[in-house]
């Protein structure tokens, strides 16, 4: 149990961190996340679907975490193990009534501990712009992620970056991805990609070694 005290040492708020153990818990957690993002236009993303996570429960349930206060879910952080043994945190949501109480940071810390215990040493999060400062405070390092499709080529994407090293890239002929090791959040370079290649998508990825 996590407990938040006031300046006089009186308990103000407490919550338990748990991982999903069955389909009913998963349904509660996903319903909570969907309610938080109901007006975001993002609910068609696979990671907001129960089916997406249900298929991953046999391997990833220990990384599908939620915080509970008085039998009510107040935050979720769901991670999935990738083929390269890294973990992608693909779903983060918190109840706005209880924000700034350390709930999400506690969930992240718990996920990092579990990752380390199971031999996963690299964690990746794709962040909304409004959350970027939070992940910086949690010790995550920003990278610029660019994704596109033909007729653009990986070389097209590479040529636009003359400032930083390439972190990694991927090109299977239909899906082209470039991750740039920016030394901080570089909004200027991100806008340069957005303007030069309007059909590509960009996002700041945050990474952490544990």
* Residue 53: closest CA among 15, 96, 89, 17: 89
73 and 171 belong to one structural domain: no
83 and 150 belong to one structural domain: no
Last residue in a domain, options 120, 152, 178: 120
pLDDT of residue 51: 96
Identify whether 19 is part of a domain: yes
Residue ranges making up the domain that contains 46: 2-120
Cβ atoms of 138 and 89 closer than 8 Å: no
Quote the strand ranges of the chain, DSSP E: 2-5, 11-19, 64-69, 72-81, 87-94, 122-126, 141-148, 166-171, 176-180, 201-209
* pLDDT tens column, 157-179: 999 999 999 999 999 999 999 99
| Average pLDDT of the residues in 12-22 | 88
CATH of the domain at 163: 3.30.70.240
pLDDT of residue 7: 47
Identify whether 126 is part of a domain: no
On average, the pLDDT of the chain sits at: 92
158 and 110 belong to one structural domain: no
- The pTM is what? 0.87
CATH of the domain at 98: 3.40.630.30
106 and 145 belong to one structural domain: no
């Amino acid at each position: 149990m996590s407990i938040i005290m006031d300046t006089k040492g009186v308990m103000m708020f407490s919550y338990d961190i748990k991982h999903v153990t069955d389909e009913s818990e998963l349904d509660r957690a996903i319903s909570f996340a969907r309610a938080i993002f109901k007006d975001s236009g993002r609910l068609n993303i696979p990671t907001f679907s129960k089916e997406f996570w249900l298929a991953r429960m046999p391997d990833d349930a220990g990384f599908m975490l939620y915080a509970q206060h008085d039998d009510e879910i107040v935050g979720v952080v769901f991670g999935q193990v990738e083929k390269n043994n890294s973990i992608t945190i693909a779903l983060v949501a918190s109840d706005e009534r209880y924000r700034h109480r350390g709930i999400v940071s506690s969930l992240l810390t718990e996920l990092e501990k579990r990752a380390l215990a199971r031999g996963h040493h690299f964690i990746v999060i794709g962040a909304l712009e409004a959350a970027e400062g939070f992940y910086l405070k949690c010790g995550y390092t920003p990278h610029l992620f660019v994704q596109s499709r033909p007729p653009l080529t990986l070389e097209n994407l590479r040529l636009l970056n003359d400032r930083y090293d390439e972190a990694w890239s991927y090109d299977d002929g239909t899906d082209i991805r470039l991750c740039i090791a920016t030394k901080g959040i570089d909004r200027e370079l991100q806008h340069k990609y957005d303007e030069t290649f309007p059909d590509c998508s960009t996002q700041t990825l945050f990474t952490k070694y544990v």
